[in-house]
Structures are given as structure tokens and as C-alpha cells.
Amino acid sequence: MTEVQQKLTARSFLFKVLNGVALGIVVGLIPNAILGELFKYLMQFHPFFGTLLNVVVGIQFTVPVIVGVLIAMQFKLNPLQTVIVGTAAFVGSGAAVFQDKVWMLVGIGDLINTMLTASISVLIILWIKDRLGSLNIILLPIIAGGLAGLIGILSLPYVKLITSTLGQLVNSFTNLQPVLMCVLIAIVFSILIISPISTVAIAMAIGISGMASGAANLGVAAAATMLVIGSLKVNKSGITLAILMGAMKMMMPNLIKYPIIILPIAVTAAMSGLAGAIFNIQGTPASAGFGYSGLVGPINALKFMDGNIGLNLGILALAYIVIPVITGLIVNTLCLKFKIYSPEVFKFQSGE
């Protein structure tokens, strides 16, 4: 047993899994988040940009495999073991479904179940170690890959209940007074975006639209803004830029280790949600939960706005940038001044 395995505790195991997920999200989602909307716009001028769009979207479909591989690498597994964890994570993610006698890719799957399946595969591999001897290359993919994948498939419907339950909670907010609705939805989505739960999946599941969709986007954008503000002094520029581009989920380890970061994020999101209600920022189920990523939220909000386009752009800049930036700076300054948290809570947890 290696030194890494000897020191493995439940806490260190959890953080290794979260670190793998955080890196996997960046690798898999950033290309489409940055370039997807641009290529969608440019493909009307030349079909080659449609091909480029397929490339970045295709990369996004590999997220479960990437996450599994990067989780395995956190545990210093060898190449064979690493690939096995990646394949198990893909199967358990639910990203591919068997329908009408064909396999279909339906997105990046359920991130929570991806983590669960990868964790089971890692645990099986750490337990088996070298017990299989020369049969390792034959039996290990079946046991650590197939068995973990089977468990992932069986657990998927139950894990998905987490998303559906949260979806029902968010949906209940839509029956409230518009201002309160926007504030609550913005807060919920600002927290979900740094959790393993997909904000986009929830938005699509409940068909969130109108001001509720706008509030969801503003909440995600507010989370990105607050995380960028906190990240500036403690992380390298690449980390901060990745957060700004849409990789807020890379801060999941920070959320688990320092749950106090919910406070500034929620306050910033609340003010953004309030702005959304005042300015009637709207969206669609397909645009909700993206925030700044690919400018999906602002672009769709602009489509619902009447009047002078210059004024509308100014309103969007105020709601998406000015208000969350000012709120985030004030809240962060106050929290640091009164020692509610230290700057280190925003430091990217690259290892544990």
C-alpha cells in the first residue's frame, strides 16, 4: 500500500474527488462556454464555424470521462486503473442512454452520480490492489469498471431525485410575489452553481422562463462575480479567468471546506435578483442557469427587451455587471474587515 493510500481518510478522499471534479469541469466545459455562442453566430457566414461548434460541444460530452480520469489521478492510480475509473464514471453519469435500440448522448449526465460512480470504482481498485496478479488487465476492468458502472446505473434514478426535488422547490418560488421570487431564485441558483448540481438541468426540468429565468441567470452571474472578486488576491490569473468564463463549479471544494462563502455570494445574488425584478430581466428555459457563460443569459434577455437598444444594453450592464460588482466588493470588504472569513476561503483547492 502506498503512502498516499495509508494516509487516506474520509475527508481527504472527499476532497480528492471534489478536486478531480473541479478540474474536469474546467477542462470539459470551458471550450464551449467561451466559444460556443461565438461559433453559433459565425456559422451563418461560413459552415466551417458549424464544424468548430461541433468540436467544442463534443468536448463537453466527454465531461464524465474527464472527471473520472482526473479523480483517479488524484489518487495516483496507474494508467490502466485511471482509464477504468473514467469508463465507469461515464457509464454511471447517465450521459448516454439506450433508446429505440441505439445509444444516444443526452448531455454531460448527472454530476453527483458521476462522482459517486467514480468514487466506488476508486474504492474497488484501492481494495483489490495487486490481488489479481497477472489477471489484473482482464478482471480489473470487469470488476472496478463494470461493477462500479452497474451500481452507478442503479443509483442514477434515485440520485436524480435530488435535482427534481430542488426543481420543485425552485418552481414553488414562481408562485410568489415577483420581487421575492426573483431574489429567492437568484440566491438558490448562485449556490447551486458551485455545487455538483446542474443549474441548467434544473431550469430545463421545470421549464423556468420569464423573470424567473432572468433571475436564475443573474444569480449565476452574481456567484461568478463574487468568486472573481475573492479570487483576485489569492489565485493565479488563469483560475480567476476560468471562474469568470463559467467554471464556478471548480470552487466546489471551497464550498465544502468553507461554507461561509455562501454568505457573500447569496447577498450579491439577492441584490442582482432585485435588479432583475426592477428591470424586468427575462429569459427562457434553455438560457437559464448560464450566467455570463457564452453571454447566453444577457443575449436572451436582450431579445425580450423593447425600446432603444443602447438603453437596453445599459440596463443589462447595470444588472449583470455594475450592481453585482459593487455589491460584491462591499460585502467582501465588510466580511474581511469584521473577520467573518479570510481571503484564503477563495483560494482554489488544488490539493488536499
- Category of 280 on φ-ψ map: left (φ > 0), alpha (ψ -120 to 50) or beta: left
Domain co-membership, 139 together with 237: no
The pLDDT of residue 17 is above 60: yes
Phi, psi dihedral angles at 193 (to 5 degrees): -70, -20
Q: What percent of the chain has pLDDT over 90?
A: 66
Enter the pTM of the model. 0.85
Does residue 224 lie within any of the structural domains? Answer: yes
Does residue 170 lie within any of the structural domains? Answer: no
| Domain span including residue 85 | 10-159
Domain co-membership, 190 together with 67: no
- pLDDT value for 127: 94
- pLDDT value for 350: 63
Domain co-membership, 93 together with 202: no
What pLDDT digit, counting tens, does each position of 220-236 carry? Answer: 999 999 999 999 999 99
Please identify, among 159, 185, 220, the residue that sits at the C-terminal boundary of a domain.
159
User: Per the structure, how many domains does the chain have?
Assistant: 2
- pLDDT value for 285: 84
Does residue 322 lie within any of the structural domains? Answer: yes
Domain co-membership, 191 together with 67: no
**In the chain, how long is the greatest CA-to-CA distance?**
72
- pLDDT value for 212: 94
Q: Which of 53-67, 100-114, 207-221 has the lowest mean pLDDT?
A: 100-114
Q: Which of 92-101, 222-231, 261-270, 271-280 has the lowest mean pLDDT?
A: 92-101
Domain co-membership, 91 together with 21: yes
Q: In which element (H, E) is residue 143 found?
A: none
Give the helix ranges, DSSP H, for the chain: 3-6, 10-42, 48-61, 63-74, 79-93, 111-128, 136-140, 148-173, 178-192, 199-206, 210-231, 237-244, 252-257, 262-279, 296-303, 309-317, 323-337
Domain co-membership, 205 together with 310: yes
Residues with Cβ within 8 Å of 58's Cβ and at least 6 positions away in sequence, in order, are none
Three cell numbers, residue 232? 483576485
Q: In which element (H, E) is residue 146 found?
A: none
The pLDDT of residue 311 is above 60: yes
